[in-house]
Amino acid sequence: MYGTVAIVRTVVAAAALVVAGLLAPPPATADPADPAPADDPTSCNEPACVPGIQPGVVLGAPCDNTTYYVFGVTDWGRLVFCGSPRRLAARWFRTTELRGVKLEGSNCSGRDGEMAQAPDGLFLSCDAREGASTWTRGDI
Residue 14 maps to a domain: no
Residue 74 maps to a domain: yes
Residue 11 maps to a domain: no
**Res 17: pLDDT:** 38
Per the structure, the complete domain to which residue 48 belongs is given by 36-137
Residue 23 maps to a domain: no
Enter the pTM of the model: 0.69
The count of structural domains within the chain is: 1
- Cα 39 to Cα 122: distance, rounded to the nearest angstrom: 18
- Going by C-alpha positions, the residue among 65, 56, 59, 67 that lies closest to residue 117 is 67
- Cα 23 to Cα 55: distance, rounded to the nearest angstrom: 41
Residue 12 maps to a domain: no
Residue 99 maps to a domain: yes
Residue 69 maps to a domain: yes
- Say which residues have a Cβ less than 8 Å from residue 55's Cβ, sequence separation at least 6: 72, 73
Laid out side by side, the sheet with 123-129 consists of: 98-101, 115-117, 123-129, 132-137
pLDDT by residue for the chain (140 residues), tens only, comes to: 444 444 434 444 444 433 333 333 333 333 334 444 445 777 899 999 999 999 999 999 999 999 999 999 999 999 999 998 877 899 999 999 999 999 999 999 999 999 999 999 999 999 999 899 999 999 87
Residue 31 maps to a domain: no
